[in-house]
Amino acid sequence: MYKILVVDDEPTVSAGIKSYLMRSELGIDHVETASNGFEALDCLRMDTYDLVLTDIQMGMMNGIELMEAILLEQPHLPVIVISAHEKFDFAKRALRLGAKDYLIKPVELDELMRVVGKALQEKKEMGRLTLQRPEADRSQDGHLLKKRHEALIELVTETDLQEKDYEDLLREIGSSLKEQGYWYGIAAVHLNLSKGGFSNQDITLMDRKLLKYASVNILEESLSDWCGVAFYGFGNQLVCVIQLEASDNVDTRLPMNSQLNLIGQTIIINLKQYLNVDVTVGMSTLSPDLSMLPKLMEEANAAIEWRKLHPDNNVLYYEDMSALGNMRMMEWAAMVEEIVIHMKTVDEVRLAQELQSAVKILANLTHSEGLFHSCFGLLVYRLYGLLFDNGQESSSSFRQYDPDVYFRGMEISRKVACLHEYVQGLADVIRACISERDQTVVSRITAYIYNHYGNHELKIQDIAGEVHFSAAYVSYLFKRETNKNVWDFVSEVRIEEAKRLLAVTELKRYEISYQVGYQSPEHFSRMFKRFIGISPADYRKEIRGN
């Protein structure tokens, strides 16, 4: 049985579509309606839906903005656009931004049934687009797909996970460390968004967001044959996790490497064809172990960095680049980045292992003073730079760990001997700075929410802009530090204030609704009952009776 959300600011349209869908033979047992994009997002955060039908032209948050928010939070949720716009360009834009189909008002009922039925059928077969065996994925609903997406992001970016963390995350995506028969890889996709689109004009900030949004959809479609999942990285980067089915002889790598080449070229061709966007793709090696995803992510990032030396090469393979004899300095830079990553974590063992390898390399370079100082300087100044990224410049640590001060007057052999002590001390300071910074950021997020929860147009982008991080990172950091979803916290703040107003004021329901951030009193009542279990009116009676 299916649940559908209809979003339209014309109540008669929503009611008509709801009535017709409920009478259909498509197995639809519930249809919820929302009068704008913000109400729709509240519904999506509180419940699981199989399909969204949305108007484009709505007040406050239009259909395009709603689709963008859905992609950020529930990337696999299908959307059908219903609009009075008949222009082909407008329809084409909506489709490129991820809409499954585009219907013109007034809607032909037979056409509505055909489009909705097709979308629900595709949703049912959606399992093959995720990192999960098809037979297992058919039992997953939209909520589990969202959790799986979040788990994949954490698997790819977190390098300090403990064994239990891996087990929990892999359980969320329905896999295990012992799973056999598949090889995994990472494709880091760097979008050149200085110019693009079919007008090939300078791209505005809003257009960049839309192009990234559309790119994720195109990537998932492009990688469907390789069970691909795409999501946002940092800046103009997208990340793709791919899964290749192993042959009978899992040691035979050549056929899979050939598939990697096809994947890289497919990404470039499709993004150019559909969005006129130039991209560079960094491809990792392959591993049969999902726990190696952070390492593969590092490889993909290292590969894409080589575009600075090979600007004409649009697909860069880590295995190829690391094998080049003239790339030793780049390999050293990659090792430095490994040390940087482990300095930010609490994985002392891996940091010690990487540092020991680095010391051995430096010790072998003592015969070449110029090469030694180049490598040594790259290491210590890169690590020292982390203080500027994460600490206060006025701190005494900036002077204490300045390489020019710390290693002044030392012979080469003495510098090598003191490197362990320098890195360990610097790591302790940096971790303290990061912890303090993250707590400060979360405090700023909560303060912003408390000051703006009454704004019924509040968006995650507003909160992210306040702390100057991406929306995805704000969501991740807030969940990590508070064990709460950002929007769960916003809703809690709103409902708590509503409880207070119901208890101590004579304000009417619609007045309280608007004051705590809900434009529709009916929607406010639904949200209140979801959190508290009773209606606002019953709550007022109960609390005053006590």
SS3 content of the chain, % helix, strand, coil (to 5): 60, 10, 25
CB atoms within 10 A of CB 90: 14
Report pLDDT for 55: 85
Give the number of other CB atoms < 10 A from CB of residue 3.
17
Of 129, 68, 122, 97, which is closest to residue 218 (Cα–Cα)? 97
Find out whether 96 and 196 touch, Cβ atoms under 8 Å: no
Q: Let me know: does 240 contact 264? Beta carbons within 8 Å.
A: no
Can you tell me the distance from the alpha carbon of 319 to that of 241, in angstroms, rounded to the nearest whole number? 17
List, in sequence order, every residue forming a beta bridge with 216; answer none if it has no partner.
none
Number of helices (H), then strands (E), in the chain:
24, 12
Report which of 531, 519, 514, 535 is spatially closest to residue 35, judged by C-alpha positions.
Answer: 519
Which backbone phi and psi does 195 adopt, to 5 degrees? -140, 155
HEC profile for 447-490?
A: HHHHHHCCCCCCCHHHHHHHHCCCHHHHHHHHHHHHCCCHHHHH
CB of 253 within 8 A of CB of 147? Answer: no
| 177-323 to CATH, choices 3.30.70.270, 3.40.50.300, 3.40.1390.20, 3.40.50.2300 | 3.30.70.270
Q: In what helix (H) or strand (E) does residue 184 lie, and over which residues does it extend?
A: strand 182-192
Supply 346's token pair.
């609490």
Q: What is the pLDDT of residue 501?
A: 94
Asked if residue 270 lies in contact with residue 303, where contact means CB atoms within 8 angstroms, the answer is: no
Rounded CA gap, 220 and 217, in Å? 5
Q: Which 3-state string (H, E, C) describes 215-265?
A: HHHHHHHHCHHHCCEEEECCCCEEEEEEEEECCCCCCCCHHHHHHHHHHHH
Predicted pLDDT at 507: 92
Encode 260-292 in three state secondary structure: HHHHHHHHHHHHHHHHCCEEEEEECCCECCHHH
Residue ranges per domain, the chain?
2-124, 177-323, 331-437, 453-545
- pLDDT at residue number 165: 77
3-state secondary structure of 239: strand
Cα separation, 52 vs 71, whole angstroms: 12
- Residue 439 makes CB contacts below 8 A (sequence gap 6+) with 481
* CA-to-CA separations, 464 to 67, 236, 429, 472, in angstroms, rounded: 18, 16, 26, 9
Beta carbons within 10 angstroms of residue 362's beta carbon: 19
Residue 249 has a pLDDT of: 40
Count of CB atoms situated within 10 Å of the CB of 138: 13
Same fold, 2-124 and 177-323: no
Number of C-beta neighbours around residue 352 at 10 A: 14
- CA–CA dist 530, 42 (Å, integer): 11
Q: In a 3-state reduction of DSSP, which class is residue 251?
A: coil
**Selecting from 3.30.420.10, 3.40.50.12280, 3.40.50.2000, 3.40.50.2300, what CATH number does the domain 2-124 have?**
3.40.50.2300
pLDDT of the chain, 546 residues: tens digit per residue: 788 899 888 888 888 888 888 888 788 888 888 888 888 888 888 888 888 888 877 776 777 778 777 766 676 678 888 877 655 555 555 555 556 777 777 777 788 888 888 887 776 665 443 333 333 333 344 455 456 566 767 777 776 777 777 677 766 655 433 455 678 889 999 988 776 655 556 666 667 777 787 888 888 777 776 766 777 777 788 888 888 776 544 343 445 566 777 788 888 888 887 788 888 999 888 888 777 888 888 888 888 877 765 666 788 888 766 544 334 566 777 788 888 877 766 667 888 888 888 888 888 777 777 778 878 888 888 888 877 766 555 556 677 888 888 898 898 889 999 998 888 888 888 777 777 777 788 888 999 999 999 998 888 888 888 888 777 778 878 888 888 888 889 999 999 999 999 999 999 999 999 999 998 899 899 899 988 999 999 999 998 876
For 163, 208, 226, the CA distances from 222, given in Å and listed in that order, are 33, 20, 9
Q: For residues 60 and 267, give the distance between their C-alpha atoms in angstroms, rounded to a whole number.
A: 35
How far apart are the C-alpha atoms of 518 and 528, rounded to whole Å?
11
What is the pTM assigned to this prediction? 0.46
Written as one letter, the residue type at 442 is V
Residue 86 backbone phi and psi in degrees, to 5: -105, -5
pLDDT value at residue 135: 38
Q: Which two tokens stand for residue 295?
A: 């390492």
In eight-state DSSP terms, residue 243 is E
- The fourth-level CATH superfamily of domain 453-545 is Homeodomain-like (1.10.10.60)
**Cα-based angle 321, 323, 324 (whole degrees, multiple of 5):** 70
- Cβ proximity of 486 and 519 under 8 Å: no
Buried b (16+ CB within 10 A) or exposed e, 223-259: beebbbbbbbbeebbbbbbbbbebeeeeeebeebbeb
> What pLDDT score was predicted for residue 128?
40
CA 145, CA 131: separation in Å to the nearest integer? 10
Sign of CA dihedral 49, 53, 57, 63: positive
